[in-house]
């Protein structure tokens, strides 16, 4: 039986390449990344791995922008995930999205890291301490990255509705005509799409 199937593999070599996975389908149906938050506190290390794979790049990008040094950024990212894991019992998925929580930890670690840097003996022309003045900027970078991540997670049609509303200044009526969708569908996409993005924003912005 198995041999017969192997035969068919030989006849039709079938290893789906990178393009074999339709992005629209994957994105629309989506793997259950959103579910990670609901089990994060349970303590399965595989959940930490999946969390790193889902948002490690996001945290690292944030640290990289905030610290300007790849090595430092990786060190802080490591701290963030270890701290998140140790503190997993304090994460409450009903209070906020997991990536937003991670970015909150990252922000604190970045600030600590900068302060430590400034305590070290530094060359005469060391830059002034920017840690406090840069905090609003840290917030802004985090929000941008988080919302960009949420935008990529939106179903295609919902994102298209938002794009027309954001950039083409179309009203919901215009959008319904343009996309040939019922008005109620467009309004629902706008409300739910914006709610998904808002859900990722840090607490201060909410």
User: Binders of another protein among 43-102, rule CB under 8 A?
Assistant: 44-50, 52-54, 56-61, 74, 77-78, 81-82, 85, 94
If DSSP codes are grouped into helix, strand and coil, which group holds residue 50?
Answer: helix
Question: 19 to 38, contacts with another protein by CB under 8 A?
Answer: 19-23, 25-32, 34-36, 38
Query: 118 vs 190, which CB is nearer to another protein?
Result: 190
Out of 2, 68, 124, 128, point to the residue binding another protein (CB under 8 A): 2
Q: In the bound complex, what is the minimum distance in angstroms from residue 33's beta carbon to another protein? A: 8
* Cα separation values, 70 from 55, 76, 107, 194, Å: 17, 10, 16, 33
Of the chain, the end-to-end C-alpha distance in Å amounts to 58
How many residues make contact with another protein (CB under 8 A)? 90
Contact 151, 159 (CB under 8 A): yes
- Inter-CA distances, 189 with 74, 142, 163, 193, Å: 37, 24, 11, 5
Q: How far is CA 198 from the centre of its chain?
A: 13
Q: Binding of another protein at residue 203 (CB under 8 A)? A: no
Which residue blocks in the chain are alpha helix, DSSP H? 2-11, 23-29, 33-39, 45-67, 70-86, 98-119, 135-153, 156-167, 172-179, 183-198
- In the complex, least distance from residue 126 CB atom to another protein, rounded to whole angstroms: 28
The CB-of-116 to another protein minimum distance in angstroms stands at 18
182 contacts another protein (rule: CB under 8 A)? no
- Name which of residues 121 to 180 contact another protein (CB under 8 A): 143-145, 147-149, 151-153, 155, 159-160, 162-168, 171-172, 178
Q: How far is the CB of 88 from another protein (least distance, A)?
A: 11
Q: Could you tell me the smallest distance in angstroms from the CB atom of residue 174 to another protein?
A: 10
Quick check: 54 and 84 in contact, CB under 8 A?
no
């Amino acid at each position: 039986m198995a041999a017969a199937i192997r035969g068919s593999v030989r006849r039709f070599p079938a290893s789906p390449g990178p393009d074999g996975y339709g992005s629209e389908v994957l994105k629309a149906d989506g793997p259950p990344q959103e579910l990670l938050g609901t089990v994060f506190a349970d303590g399965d290390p595989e959940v930490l791995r999946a969390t790193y794979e889902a948002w490690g790049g996001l945290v690292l990008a944030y640290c990289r922008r905030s610290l300007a040094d790849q090595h430092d950024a990786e060190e802080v990212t490591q701290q963030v995930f270890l701290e998140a894991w140790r503190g997993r019992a304090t994460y409450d998925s009903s209070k906020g999205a997991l990536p937003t929580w991670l970015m909150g930890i990252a922000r604190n670690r970045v600030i600590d890291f900068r302060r430590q840097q400034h305590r070290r003996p530094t060359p005469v022309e060391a830059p002034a301490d920017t840690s406090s003045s840069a905090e609003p900027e840290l917030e802004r970078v985090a929000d941008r990255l988080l919302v960009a991540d949420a935008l990529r997670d939106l179903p295609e049609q919902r994102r298209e509705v938002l794009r027309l509303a954001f950039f083409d200044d179309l009203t919901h009526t215009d959008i319904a005509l343009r996309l040939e969708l019922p008005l109620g569908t467009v309004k629902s996409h706008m409300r739910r799409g914006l709610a998904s993005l808002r859900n990722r924003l840090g607490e201060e912005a909410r």
